[in-house]
Structure 1
């Protein structure tokens, strides 16, 4: 505990030296001290990516995100740098991969078809649809559907710098606001969004809910989840993809309703 406090005090001094005095050596020391965070984030994101994606490339993109975070972070606000930097590192890695055309257009088209299938069928039946129903809707076999899920598993990550709608420049990051500045309209929309997500999560299968919980709340990697659930990593990847596509379908319906109301 004492060591951790000493580290925090040392880092605070480094932040002061860098932000207030502009000392380059303090900036460099901060970068070096937070490099393990880059390895952690890139390691989690490497799960499920094609073998052609180099771990070194992920780390390189991540370091750029870390540097950007150190440049923009306001230590005086008392926020936790690790949380802020993790978002920046993750976003930088995703941006780097997309600039390198790491996901073929055909794979993105498959993901879009599956997402639309979940959105239409679950809106029609008002329940969680089965793999067989999705397969029938897509006019493919269940085996081909499982393979499709495996193919598109690499697309179920997103950046807060992504545009909300393809034809617009507004990003998810632009919607992050100070909680103290919420207006009534925002609060109403937020309430219905949370309610929609809660209902969508309830509709997930037990295994899908478990994967989402372990991955996003317990912060386990997909390989670690596979060990916990006694399933193969590829099966965990499929469950994760299905859960995300279901949730995206719900968010798509919420977005459409929001724009229609406006």
Structure 2
């Protein structure tokens, strides 16, 4: 069987360069320029798929092309650093590098517009005030009344707040370690495995209380320290620490219950 690349060249399925890369038969730098091009073209569709998935969670101001461009750099980096002895698929390893490059680009461009950032801060403040007064999770209608925003603006703000938290969940690396054997104690492997965990954990965030989500958002999303977080939330550092630990404990338990494993 022969496989045709987009450049028109044919490769036998038994000797496809990407299979040689995956198996470790040939390292990236030892491939000919033609085979390197074939490998890049083979894996390139993955970049667009990841970019489209990420773009769906972001404002319209973020260009798909910018994500794809950043992801392409991530793919090239992964090709040069891939080690077959890690016993993981190249696609798994590359996906982590591609996502990481896109996240770095989002951080660089500061994808929150000034207007959206202000709305999110106003909504966060409103949530804290309503929760403090009622002791309950505020409804969208209560937030609208408190902020003066329209239903659409509140919805956009809440989605942006959630997306920001999900985008920054990679910061959980120090708090939700992988349970893989120590023989795989290698950064690229842990990063690839961790990215899969992040995607699963992100789906569980909505099950946390508003205060727990806010602590995670401020601590990981806004990168505030415990003292700064306590000042913003108008609670003690001890309470912030308690909410932080409580949220992580809940996420671990929900993860274990849903996926029958420890994150």
TM-score by length of 1: 0.53
Within the candidate set 35, 38, 43, 1:34 is matched to 43
Cα 1:177–1:200 change in 2 (3 A) is: closer
Within the candidate set 140, 143, 164, 1:131 is matched to 140
How far apart are 1:63 and its partner, in Å? Answer: 0.7
* In 1: Cα distance, 2:15 partner to 2:207 partner: 41
How far apart are 1:259 and its partner, in Å? Answer: 6.8
Aligned to 1:43: 52
RMSD: 4.6
Cα 1:126–1:27 change in 2 (3 A) is: farther
Aligned to 2:20: 13
Aligned to 1:150: 156
3-state SS of paired residue (1:34): helix
Within the candidate set 216, 223, 241, 1:256 is matched to 241
Aligned to 2:179: 179
CA contact (8 A) 1:119 1:250 kept: no
Q: Deviations over 1:134-160 (max 9, x none)?
A: 334xx22362x5314325745644599
* In 2: Cα distance, 1:18 partner to 1:159 partner: 40
3-state SS of paired residue (2:95): helix
Aligned to 1:23: 31
CA contact (8 A) 2:120 2:160 kept: no
1:98 aligns with 2:107: yes
User: RCO higher in 1 or 2 (8 Å CA, sep ≥ 6)?
Assistant: 1
Larger radius of gyration: 2
* In 1: Cα distance, 2:163 partner to 2:96 partner: 12
How far apart are 1:79 and its partner, in Å? Answer: 1.7
3-state SS of paired residue (1:102): coil
How far apart are 1:7 and its partner, in Å? Answer: 5.8
CA contact (8 A) 2:47 2:72 kept: yes
3-state SS of paired residue (1:179): coil
Cα 1:125–1:13 change in 2 (3 A) is: farther
3-state SS of paired residue (2:88): coil
Cα 1:247–1:69 change in 2 (3 A) is: farther
How far apart are 1:57 and its partner, in Å? Answer: 2.0
Cα 1:83–1:198 change in 2 (3 A) is: same
CA contact (8 A) 1:38 1:63 kept: yes
Aligned to 1:141: 148
* In 2: Cα distance, 1:99 partner to 1:19 partner: 32
TM-score by length of 2: 0.53
3-state SS of paired residue (2:67): helix
Paired residues in the alignment total 196
Structure 1: runs of 5 or more not aligned: 165-170, 183-193, 204-244
